[in-house]
Amino acid sequence: MSILVTGGAGYIGSHTVVQLLEAGELVVVVDNLSNSHQEVFNRIRTITSGELVFVEGDLRDAQLLDNIFKSYDIDSVIHFAGYKAVGESVSKPLMYYQNNILSTLTLLEVMQKHDCNKLVFSSSATVYGDPETVPITEQSPLSATNPYGQTKLMIENILKDMASADANWRIAVLRYFNPVGAHSSGLIGEDPNGIPNNLMPFVAKVAVGQLPQVNVFGDDYDTPDGTGVRDYIHVVDLAAGHLAALNKLKQQSGWQAYNLGTGKGYSVLDVINSFADISEREIPYQIAPRRAGDIATCYASVDYSKQALNWQAKADIKQIIKDHWNWQQQNPNGYKDAN
Ligand code: NAD
Ligand code: WQD
């Protein structure tokens, strides 16, 4: 029996594939490489052995998916594939609705056809919008402030409706907080196209000398130092959360959402200062205007995931930055260096 990983060539997917293989699972990845590089599979195979099949293709291609389900005995699916850039989703909403929603609908139809009913879905803390209180629990109110967030909320609701209509579905919705860091080998990590949108990869590129300085988006938030506070979770801990969720689906049917975070918040300045310490590089920064749509503080309550999934994040911010920096130093141009 195999596990199908959609978007398995991507940042979080690749780290999860490593752990699935290490756990002895047979893994089939489908990815159209729209935001990833085939080199990742050479790296994964350097880290670990095991049976890994890569099918290059688009999730919206029902025929392709049908063939995958016919060729491999797929027991469960981890669904990472989708577009994820908030700003781009505001300027190209149709592209986001088209890809994220249609991919998921196509996947669900083919799963249904082949009686495959276990699904782990990549949702996001973005579904909590601007939270009224922190830490954010799974019961906190949901809202979307941009098309990307809308796609996550819509998919969560589609999955909930599927589970209500058919009690055979077993669905874990994982709401990630801020995934950062890289595998301790430095062989796989996040490889954003162009200038990074997110803080940690941006800071890493300043540390390595590819960008001149960090723009700190606002220092007048209601936080201890005025800069935004987030819950940064090591991607390896996040990946482990997917194995815990798959395990849970063996025992429990229906739809359930889980926060995957650390429960701790760090400010933008905390991240810059820690990165400078650990990398022993100067990280120049300037205070810039707030970024549209940003919130002051976001961190998870992880009580429920701890108890229900028997999972918890282990790496602290220092370990996260150490591993992120190791990846950045070894691969200053990401996977492109491999060619
Ligand atoms: P990523 O872009 O690195 O990985 C996504 C992968 O999906 C890429 O390899 C891309 O090529 C593939 N893909 C996209 N559309 C596809 C399609 N139609 N068919 C086949 N493959 C397709 O992103 P990531 O950071 O690994 O994120 C994985 C998932 O987690 C996404 O759904 C994202 O929205 C969600 N998420 C990410 C973050 C984050 O900050 N990284 C936070 C919360 C949620
Ligand atoms: C973190 C903090 C910024 C860049 C995003 C998505 C969210 C989820 C995770 C997918 C904020 C500040 C950032 C910079 C800065 N992704 N910042 N200068 O916005 O919390 O979450 O990624 O689901 O949906 O919105 O992450 O890393 O962009 O920002 O000052 O150059 O760093 O203002 O306070 P964010 P981020």
| DSSP state string for 208-219 | TTSSS-EEEE-S
Tokens 């029902």 sit on residue: 62
Looking at residue 337, its pLDDT comes to: 75
DSSP state letter for 187: S
Ligand 1, atom 34, lies closest to the CA of: 84
Ligand 1, atom 9, lies closest to the CA of: 10
CB 179 within 8 A of CB 12: yes
Q: Compute the average pLDDT of residues 101-110.
A: 98
Looking at residue 338, its pLDDT comes to: 78
Residue 233 has pLDDT above 80, yes or no: yes
What per-residue string of b and e applies to 30-62 under the rule 16 or more CB within 10 Å gives b? bbbeebbbebbbebbeebeebebebbebbbbbe
List pLDDT tens digits, range 241-287. 999 999 999 999 999 999 999 999 999 999 999 999 999 999 999 99
- Token couple for 219: 């220092």
Whether 327 is in the pocket of ligand 2, judged by its Cβ within 6 Å, is no
Residue 339 has pLDDT above 70, yes or no: no
Nearest to 210 by CA among 199, 198, 190, 194: 194
Looking at residue 336, its pLDDT comes to: 87
Q: What does pTM read for this prediction? A: 0.99
Write down how long the chain is: 339
Whether 58 is in the pocket of ligand 1, judged by its Cβ within 6 Å, is yes
Ligand 2, atom 28, lies closest to the CA of: 198
Computed over every residue of the chain, the mean pLDDT equals 97
2-182+232-261 architecture in CATH?
Answer: 3-Layer(aba) Sandwich (3.40)
**Residue 65 main-chain phi, psi, to 5 deg:** -65, -45
Looking at residue 154, its pLDDT comes to: 98
Residue 150 has pLDDT above 80, yes or no: yes
Q: Compute the average pLDDT of residues 138-147.
A: 97
Q: Compute the average pLDDT of residues 171-196.
A: 97
Tokens 């005995």 sit on residue: 73
CB 80 within 8 A of CB 6: yes
Q: Report CA(139)–ligand 2 centroid distance (Å).
A: 23
List pLDDT tens digits, range 7-46. 999 999 999 999 999 999 999 999 999 999 999 999 999 9
CB 239 within 8 A of CB 16: yes
